[in-house]
Structure formats: C-alpha cells, structure tokens
Amino acid sequence: MYYEKLAEEFIHIRTRMLKSPQNQQISRAMQGEKAVLDFLMAHGKKAHPKELSRTLAVSSARIACILNHMEEKELVIRTADELDNRQTIVILTEKGAVISRKQHQELQRLIAQMLEDLGPEDADALLRITKKIADGFEKTEKIPGKERICD
C-alpha cells in the first residue's frame, strides 16, 4: 500500500512536470531529429537505420521519415555500407555535427540551470536516483512506449 501511494504522488508530480515549458523543451531535445543527431555524435558519426530504430525505440518507418527530413536539411547522408552493399549507413554531415553540438550545449545549459536551482545536495540525489531508475530499466528487455508515425 505504501508504494501505491507513492506511485500515485509520483504520477501527479510527473503530470505537473509535463505542463512545464522547461520539461517540454528537454523532452523535445531528446527525441526525433535531435535524438538521431545525438546518437550519431556519440557513435562515430555513423549508424545503420535499424540500429537507430532499435536504440531510440521508434519504428523503422519513423526513422525513415526522420532521416528523409534530415537529408533534406543536409544534416545526414545515406549511403551503401562499404562492408555490405545491401545495407544502408547513415553518416552525419559537418553541418549536422555543428547543429548537434549547439543543441547539446543548449540542453546542457537548461539542465545545469535546473540542477543549480535544486542545490548541490538535491542535484546529486536526483542524479543518483535517476541513474538507479535508468539502470533498472536497462535490466528489463522491453520498455513500454508508443511508436510514432511520420507526421
């Protein structure tokens, strides 16, 4: 009963947070094109679309849609994989890398301000607990979530 009561309070708090412009900005920065840019920057500036789909937990159709838009903006290029011509590889362009670094700095600034508002002890506690939750999620094979289709 204790944990159910805490869960209800947690749901209420998360609902309040969803309405926050800061939280919305952080959420937008961690999905779609921005998530693909971040992944590519962290993984040698190239990846297979299937790897992006699996890691970002979105459908291959959604990844194709995102990559189409990113190619139009010259943020990525798609080419045949040198090791397997049947496979496509996504490569981050210099323009994409510049935009990714800029977006990462903006996100880091926003989160740093949030953590500063908490103070050092609470900021450390938040990170410790968030890491513990993330570690718990990683132990499970499936994380619930909806796949989105291209708008």
Per-residue pLDDT of the chain in tens (151 residues, 90 and over written 9): 899 999 999 999 999 988 888 888 888 877 899 999 999 999 999 999 999 999 998 999 999 999 999 999 999 999 998 888 889 999 999 999 999 999 999 999 999 999 999 999 999 999 999 999 988 888 875 545 544 444 4
Domains contained in the chain, CATH given: 31-139 (1.10.10.10)
Q: How far apart are the first and last CA of the chain?
A: 42
Looking at residue 11, its pLDDT comes to 93
Q: What is the pTM of this model?
A: 0.73
Beta-carbon contacts of 90 under 8 Å, excluding residues fewer than 6 positions away, are: 36, 40, 46, 47, 48, 49, 52, 67, 76, 77, 78
Contact partners, residue 30, CB within 8 Å, separation at least 6: 38, 107
Distance CA 136, CA 39 (A): 21
The DSSP 8-state label assigned to residue 19 in this structure reads T
- Residue that is written with structure tokens 């190239």 in the block: 46
